[in-house]
Structure 1
């Protein structure tokens, strides 16, 4: 037999064997399916017998029907169990969110109260700033448009809440603009005061006794002379305290005179300042500066004593503009 015929014979046997195997397999599946269908078609009679036994209720149901109803019942039970659990979780979450919302609303009410208080303070600040600018001769920044007071009532709905939030936001923006504008005005005030502060260093404007101590025992103006008992014009003020107390310069300037008068001012200094001002310090004990020295405001120039014609330790202090004497009290602590 040729090889081709042998191969063909083997191929036919293999095909026949595979076909037989599949036929047996499908036959077994068919028989199993038929058996299942047969079992499923079996009917059972369900009977309900009341205690009176007068009428019996019964009905027939197949296995398929019982399986269907069992599956349906299981699905319904599972559905209610799942959604019951899910609803309980949502309910708990909503409760927590409700508590958080109440806390947030309470905090928002406090914030609104603070904003309302801040608005009142900002209006007082604005009025004071405008008054200060007017006093200093600077341009009045003007008052802004009035805004409605914040409504501190409870929330009555989302629309009202949104309007409230926008109102408070508008108030905050207005106050922000106010303070930004005020910063510019305060900068102008600062520059003005700085310039005036530089000017005051050149004017006899501070208390001439270090530490601000001492008291005025004899003011400027007509007075009775302590020795002659005659009326005369007291050209300065007498500040008394004690021996050795430091005397300071009342302004920047230059020492133009340092002398001693045994029957007059004793040890005294005359200092020339800018703008035609002079200051005089008399009855001093020690003197720390000399004629021609340049001095600065607040610098120690000597000590309090009772030299010259004096009844006790004090400082005789004068201020002049040119040759005209003026009351030093008009310039003391002008800052």
Structure 2
């Protein structure tokens, strides 16, 4: 029973000696390094500076520690120099790039400002024309007067009166604000003018001013007034227009209205009467055929029939009349309102 105890004691001692066995070589290594450093530190080095003249040279003795420090210091200075040079070069390049970018931005901004100034001048011309137009229509907005001319070419600061001007704002931004204000102030007059034009269009659509043959075709062979009758060869009062063209060409309504009568007459042949607003009536005679019926509502330019030579006619033609109440009137004054036909130049 005694032997096991001795075995355990030997194993315990071997385990305790293991760290010492590991640390002993390490300690010996550090001791050798320390001794080598001490030996190196005790050594001295001589640095000699010999000039290229007859003067005596200079020698300096330093130990290894001081020399190592000098080498480290010199290396640090060299590294610092190269680092600062690199940083400075990068900063200078970035500064040049930023400067080039600013120059390009300034150039583009100058181009934008030039375009805005051109737009201002065009807006001014438009506004002046608009005011003249509205004044001619007695529609000048209250409180809106003619603006003073600029004091110098391209001087937009004196072009318009702005209610509030912030002196800290860039001149370009103020120019944009002026342009926006001018365009905004022109919206209301344009809306008013658009309303007048719509009213005019509606009025013209109710007046018999549209050329009665589709596409502006035809040639006026006999006008309203005193003429020689083509059959009896006698002077008489011609109470309408004779418009000659090919058979079958569409005849259209001269204005909005209602078909009041269709029929046939030995003199006028096939005819259509259309009643319009304001007491106007129109007659379309010598038709080849009729495309509408009595009581039908028609709009300006809508087909009524086809041009023909029925009745007392010397050839394919349309006999067109305009009546106001019980009086027949000259169609020329009404047809010239629109002026969108080609046959008028051939009137004799």
Residue 327 (structure 1) aligned with residue 308 (structure 2): no
- For residues 298 and 83 of structure 1, the distance between their equivalents in structure 2, rounded to whole angstroms, comes to 87
- For residues 174 and 225 of structure 2, the distance between their equivalents in structure 1, rounded to whole angstroms, comes to 61
Alignment partner of 1:271: what SS?
A: strand
Instruction: Give 1:190's aligned residue.
Output: 194
- For residues 110 and 301 of structure 1, the distance between their equivalents in structure 2, rounded to whole angstroms, comes to 59
Shift of 1:301: 1.5
Instruction: Give 1:95's aligned residue.
Output: 96
Instruction: Give 1:168's aligned residue.
Output: 172
Shift of 1:121: 1.3
After TM superposition, the structure 1 = structure 2 runs for residues 296-335 of structure 1, keeping only pairs within 5 Å, are 296-332=299-335, 334-335=337-338
Q: 1:164 to 1:326 in 2, by over 3 A?
A: farther
Shift of 1:87: 1.3
Alignment partner of 1:331: what SS?
A: helix
CA RMSD of aligned residues (A): 3.3
Shift of 1:275: 0.7
Shift of 1:146: 5.6
Instruction: Give 1:121's aligned residue.
Output: 122
Alignment partner of 1:139: what SS?
A: coil
- For residues 55 and 113 of structure 2, the distance between their equivalents in structure 1, rounded to whole angstroms, comes to 79
Residue 58 (structure 1) aligned with residue 59 (structure 2): yes
Residue 208 (structure 1) aligned with residue 212 (structure 2): yes
Residue 67 (structure 1) aligned with residue 68 (structure 2): yes
Q: 1:208 to 1:108 in 2, by over 3 A?
A: same
Identify unmatched segments of 5+ residues in structure 2.
Answer: 1-29, 157-166, 339-348
What's the CA shift string for 1:98-123, capped at 9, x where partnerless? 33233223322322221222122111
What's the CA shift string for 1:247-282, capped at 9, x where partnerless? 1111222333334332x2222222221111111111
Q: 1:51 to 1:317 in 2, by over 3 A?
A: closer
- For residues 226 and 178 of structure 2, the distance between their equivalents in structure 1, rounded to whole angstroms, comes to 59
Shift of 1:210: 1.5
What's the CA shift string for 1:58-104, capped at 9, x where partnerless? 23334343233223212221111001111111222223223323322
- For residues 219 and 179 of structure 2, the distance between their equivalents in structure 1, rounded to whole angstroms, comes to 48
Instruction: Give 1:278's aligned residue.
Output: 281
Identify unmatched segments of 5+ residues in structure 1.
Answer: 1-28, 153-162
Shift of 1:333: 6.1
Q: Is the 8 A contact 1:150 1:168 kept in 2?
A: no
Q: 1:306 to 1:41 in 2, by over 3 A?
A: same
- For residues 276 and 247 of structure 1, the distance between their equivalents in structure 2, rounded to whole angstroms, comes to 22
- For residues 168 and 108 of structure 2, the distance between their equivalents in structure 1, rounded to whole angstroms, comes to 14
- For residues 148 and 72 of structure 2, the distance between their equivalents in structure 1, rounded to whole angstroms, comes to 74
Alignment partner of 2:170: what SS?
A: helix
Shift of 1:40: 4.6
- For residues 169 and 189 of structure 1, the distance between their equivalents in structure 2, rounded to whole angstroms, comes to 31
Instruction: Give 2:87's aligned residue.
Output: 86
Instruction: Give 1:157's aligned residue.
Output: none
Instruction: Give 1:266's aligned residue.
Output: 269
Q: 1:51 to 1:111 in 2, by over 3 A?
A: closer
Residue 136 (structure 1) aligned with residue 140 (structure 2): no
TM-score scaled to structure 2, two decimals? 0.74
Instruction: Give 2:236's aligned residue.
Output: 232
Shift of 1:165: 8.0
Q: 1:144 to 1:75 in 2, by over 3 A?
A: farther
Shift of 1:34: 11
Q: 1:284 to 1:84 in 2, by over 3 A?
A: same
Between the two proteins, the alignment pairs up a number of residues equal to: 299
